[in-house]
Amino acid sequence: MFEIAPHFNALLVFIEHRFYGKSIPYGGDKTIAYSNKTTLGYLSSTQALADYATLIIDLKNNLTAIDSPVVVFGGSYGGMLAAWFRLKYPHVTIGALASSAPILKFGSITSPYSFNNIITQDFKGESENCYKVIKGSWKQIEDMAKTKGGWEKLRKSFRICKNYISQGALENWLNTAFVYTAMTDYPTPSNFLNPLPAYPVKQMCKAIDDPKSGKDTFEKIYGAANIYYNYTGNATCFDLNDHSDPHGLAGWTWQACTEMVMPTDGNNKESIFPPSKWDYNERAQFCKSIFGVEPRPNWVTTEFGGYNIERVLKRFGSNIIFFNGQRDPWSGAGVLKDISKSIVAIVAKEGAHHVDLRWSSKEDPKWLKQVREREVNIISNWLSQYYQSLNEIY
């Protein structure tokens, strides 16, 4: 966005989502903001979109730029918001670039297995041995935890700091490393979630396949996890009880407990993860214990286009680019085919999570340069059509 704004002589505006960043109420006190049930109800995608519409209209009035066209951009949840904004407020924006936007992740629109299946294929595609080691490690961790001195062995193997750990905490820690590495499997070094090398999935599998790690499965898995958690080499041990929020996502727990209900299962026998089944009742109990509310699994589909949102977009929508990289686990719930002439799907086989929105680099592969070039061309066409219609009106 920073790079193409000068091309369009555009003003770049970042509108912060309510309840995040500096827009957290109560003077930024997260403890109060995320526990006060009276005001937490105002944290929703619907309210956020209304904020954006109000601010954009006011900004254009204040700048005496009533006729200036607006194009919205977003990645991940932001990509969902971008697509929904174009659908809900077509009079405010002429188009939207929705990158890695899993708008089909609700209810039974897409398979609940797709997320874990894509991660599995990412690692399996790099190395069959890497896949087998990760897949088999969970049972070995479970078995080791049951033995005398097993926890101490696990603690030392994974360089866990000397405090209480549980099997669930260790598994979640490893799961996070594999999930986020697959999401951010970028072709250049990145610092999106954690500092990572280019093609980090490949690097993880290299660590697992490295003969120097011997036959010790835990040493192999540690080598992989260390790439995600300690690529800089600064950490001496890992604190599994660190519940800090470095990415500022505490508000997402509320949203996931109210509207963003996206079922994910792991019962596919080929999955690198242990079997798991998404259970609404279990989720509802969790949300009720924390916030006193139950999830609304049908709200997003009710608010934003229904279970046949692709049909709705075809009938009522226009000017949306959906980008998805097929190495991104969220792509299984993304729009992967053109919906109409102006609602276009750009799919990159080697792409990761909203990679098209990252800063460009000399090391960017050809396919990524082509994706960005196509996006710019489409947006240019939207602008040309807008100005042509504007001239016809006046």
User: Where are the chain's structural domains?
Assistant: 1-23+45-58+74-103+316-327+349-394, 114-229
Q: Which listed residue (17, 44, 45, 76) is catalytic?
A: 76
Q: Do the domains spanning 1-23+45-58+74-103+316-327+349-394 and 114-229 agree at the CATH topology level?
A: no
So what's the pLDDT on residue 166?
A: 84
Its CATH architecture, for the domain 1-23+45-58+74-103+316-327+349-394, is: 3-Layer(aba) Sandwich (3.40)
Q: Which listed residue (213, 265, 353, 356) is catalytic?
A: 353
Q: Which listed residue (328, 331, 354, 356) is catalytic?
A: 328
So what's the pLDDT on residue 394?
A: 66
Does the active-site annotation cover 76? Answer: yes
Does the active-site annotation cover 361? Answer: no
Its CATH architecture, for the domain 114-229, is: Up-down Bundle (1.20)
What span, in angstroms and rounded, lies between the C-alpha atoms of 41 and 22? 18
So what's the pLDDT on residue 3?
A: 94
Per cent of the chain over pLDDT 70 is 99
Give the chain's residues under pLDDT 70.
164, 267, 394
Does the active-site annotation cover 51? Answer: no
Task: List the one residue out of 118, 152, 116, 158 whose CA is nearest residue 137.
Answer: 158
So what's the pLDDT on residue 317?
A: 94
So what's the pLDDT on residue 307?
A: 86
CB 170 within 8 A of CB 154: yes
Q: What is the longest distance spanned by two Cα atoms in the chain? A: 82
